[in-house]
Structure 1
């Protein structure tokens, strides 16, 4: 696998290389009341009240009915229908959160039906933790939706009303028979906001409330994010199971690819040379009696082929698992790899003990492939390999002063390397701006 260092251009933020971010002239605090995000979040809060009323009413009614009918068989299908409806509302809420809050929550674990038919479906719904979490969401979201709706609407209305007070204060003397907004009005005192100073102060107070409203609404929606993510998404255990299933597939695919590579190398390399060697020795045997000199030349050529075949077998064995890695560890093995690199490589390994063989092998082949990329594509004149341990993690870093531009785009060697490390809970981070330098950092579990 090899990544071409001329590809993967870009600065990693979705902007073309060389294009700077547009400098905002208005501070974020002043832009917030008019930003699309603030209005989407406010719309989410407004929609939460009617949706939560419908959801709460449905959930409480159906669950109460199902619980009351449990003395008969009808209670079970009613409860199953209640939970299924809550799951359907949960899908709607995930979609709403994705569209208005930008919160992308994966679907919870699917129903696991052990039996086919209606009975199997009801049993799966009732046994599913995701169904009960959706019911809990229906119960908890209603009081929170009422609270957030009241707070958001009142703060929003109060702020804009005070901010625009200079535009409509004339309504009070014209239609209500008073001078302005009444602060105090009793038998002895009457204080109205009606002079220019008081009107200006009122508008400034409204401005403060208006500027604070988006952040208050955002704080309210943080609770909604927690509810949606915690109750309507997959559990950590389910997410971990999915990750392990995916990692297992990567491991199986990687092992199959390695076996195909070994078979191809044997077939095209050592096996082909050994077949040719057997034919040459057969011809030499036939010529031994009639032309000893020609037979001797053929045997000498066959001897050279044997050396070449042995070297190819050694290289193949080294590619499977080098003996120096087993015998002497990462320091000696990486030094041997570095000596075969096309550019000078400085190797520094700071390990007091060795990790388990599997992690050690992955670390070796990770560095080996990165150095191979440097030899083929980087046009570097210098490279460095650093290996050290941080608590229970094995850290690898390979750097060079080449042309840069490396990336983990789909189909590249670094993408495949990322998948391999991810299969063992490892991480690969690539920092390779166009023009260089390139720095690739890998993190693996220690498992010593």
Structure 2
């Protein structure tokens, strides 16, 4: 369920809104009482198994109980969101760089789930019982006028005038109950945030780091676009523009000599024709540097194969078949591989290189992964070189990453990972 707002409300809800929100909160608290027995049963089962002898039978029972507690917490987060209109962010996962056995075996989330069930079991037997008792009492009081004349309660006859003040008191209590439910509902939210929610300070730090990364990436992207614009202007000025000027001059001279030197006109036209063909080649080269048409028309496989064919170092290309990734990711992958192959040709001393492009899952997210491997002398320092910085900036613009492995003596392996889906974010809120 998606939260509606942030953790801190923009303003405190009015009395009327509190009263309306209190009714579903009362339902939630009554459910607390009904579920308390279930929660405590799961807790006692886990504790009893853990304190008993660890056998081949007891250990799976303990694991299943912890998994059950973890699953019940997911349902509890949903119940709090529905009845209390508050989103409780889930607990953080173990860092993905840890070994699998540490991420699974030392995961605190099942144990925190067990703690939450313990707290909710005890709270359900107190707060839930209090609310249920008051609700039942108010409803019984409202029904007092329906007592027959001469009714006897607790061994005494009820006077005819007694049921009406009792009913009035029950009505007042019933009208005030939503306010009590709203207050006690916040106890449920506090317990959930204490036991099964992510750390607000850690979440704020992560969001701050994210903002800083986006700001830095945006500044570098602007600088990169400006540098690219200057490069295109320089390439157009040094190549096609000069050739087009030469063509105009040759055609002008041919026009002047048309009546006086017909033999020289043919030579000028041949030279202008040759310059026009060279200008077309130059324009194609500049356009390819902006965005190769083959990438748009035929995808990464054909574009990288064409790129490899122009490389002075023999390059083999292997692209995993499957659905085409988004155009922006294709472009980033293409230019990253292009930059990597340029570095291979200039600096690595390699005799061959290999490009592998595949879609795989990393840390639970699908990513487009492009890997460039060469058999050069290695020794690449990832902290130096504007080429690697440019690759990182391209990848970080879409939450990607660039990994470099280049021991002395080689081989050098450069891996670009571009997520196909955005990273999951967790925010909390109370409307």
Q: TM-score, normalised by structure 2?
A: 0.49
Q: TM-score, normalised by structure 1?
A: 0.47
